[in-house]
């Protein structure tokens, strides 16, 4: 069964440092999503890509977060500088173009900022 | 904007008994509804979805959910709970048009006791 690949699985970084996460969606999935899940809460969308274009980044803290999907395939989410409140699980998901399909999630990256 | 409410933080049930995890939603237009399950330090796994058609939807691992348009609900059910069903369950909704994002509830922890 096809999977969404994410790396690293775990990341510990000091505050004010830069950190990056990588996601490789299921082949052929046009839509890619980055979600943030704070412990004890539901996932919240940070950014949504359609191919290489951003279609929703309204909840992305753009002063410190950036995301790209240059060739419309894999994607990188960056935080610079990291803050203590960024500690969370960062989940990547992908889906086909049609709205009726569910999302397939990767295993996530657990970020701890110390 | 769409939203999801999961009124119970935790549901406790004995193994072999039926279980229900509640979900209500709000969305403009017709909804696409989903249930996901999350095990510790893992991503979200798709259980089932409602797109259209029969209001009773059957999914993975013996779970099912009933769509009730008048009550705007999509409760998750299983006739006989297993200890291995213990996990965090998320309900999610999206509108059925355009690039509308998937919005998650806060999650319900299911604890099945032997």
Q: Which residues of A touch B99 (CB under 8 A)?
A: 31, 48, 50, 55-56
* pLDDT of A100: 66
Please say if the pLDDT value at position A107 is more than 70: yes
Full 3-state SS string of chain B = CCEEECCCCEEEEECCCCEEECCEEECCCCEEEEEEEECCCCCEEEEEEECCCCCEEECHHHCEEEEECCCCEEEEEECCCCHHHCEEEEEEEEECCCCCCCEECCCEEEEEEC
- Average pLDDT value over all residues in chain B: 93
* pLDDT of A16: 96
* pLDDT of A98: 65
A50-93, pLDDT tens digit by residue?
A: 999 999 999 999 999 999 998 889 999 999 999 999 999 999 99
Q: How far does the CA of residue A45 sit from the closest CA of chain B (Å)?
A: 8
Question: Are residues B43 and A106, on separate chains, in Cβ contact within 8 Å?
Answer: yes
Please say if the pLDDT value at position B55 is more than 90: yes
**Among the ranges given (A101-105, B31-35, B107-111), the one the predictor scored with the smallest mean pLDDT:** A101-105
Q: How much of chain B, in percent, has pLDDT values that exceed 90?
A: 77
For residue A8, CA distances in Å to A90, A106, B18, B41, B43 come to 10, 11, 38, 13, 13
Q: What would the mean pLDDT of B55-80 be, rounded to a whole number?
A: 96
């Amino acid at each position: 069964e096809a999977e969404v690949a994410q790396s690293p699985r775990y990341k510990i970084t000091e505050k004010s440092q830069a950190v990056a996460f990588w996601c490789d969606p299921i082949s052929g999935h046009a839509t890619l999503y980055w979600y943030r899940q704070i412990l004890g809460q539901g996932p919240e969308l940070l950014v949504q890509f359609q191919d290489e274009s951003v279609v929703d980044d309204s909840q992305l803290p753009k002063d410190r977060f950036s995301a790209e999907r240059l060739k419309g395939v894999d994607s990188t989410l960056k935080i610079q500088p990291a803050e203590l409140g960024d500690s969370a699980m960062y989940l990547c998901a992908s889906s086909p173009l049609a709205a009726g399909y569910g999302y397939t999630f990767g295993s996530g990256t657990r970020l701890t900022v110390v | 904007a769409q939203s999801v409410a999961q009124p119970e933080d935790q549901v406790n049930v004995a193994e072999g008994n039926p279980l229900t995890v509640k979900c209500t939603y709000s969305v403009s237009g017709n909804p696409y509804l989903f249930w996901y399950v999350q095990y510790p330090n893992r991503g979200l796994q798709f259980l089932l979805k409602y797109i259209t058609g029969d209001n009773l939807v059957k999914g993975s691992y013996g779970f099912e959910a009933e769509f009730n348009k008048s009550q705007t609900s999509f409760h998750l059910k299983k006739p006989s709970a297993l200890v291995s069903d213990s996990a965090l369950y998320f309900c999610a909704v999206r509108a059925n048009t355009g690039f509308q994002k998937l919005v998650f509830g806060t999650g319900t922890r299911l604890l099945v006791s032997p």
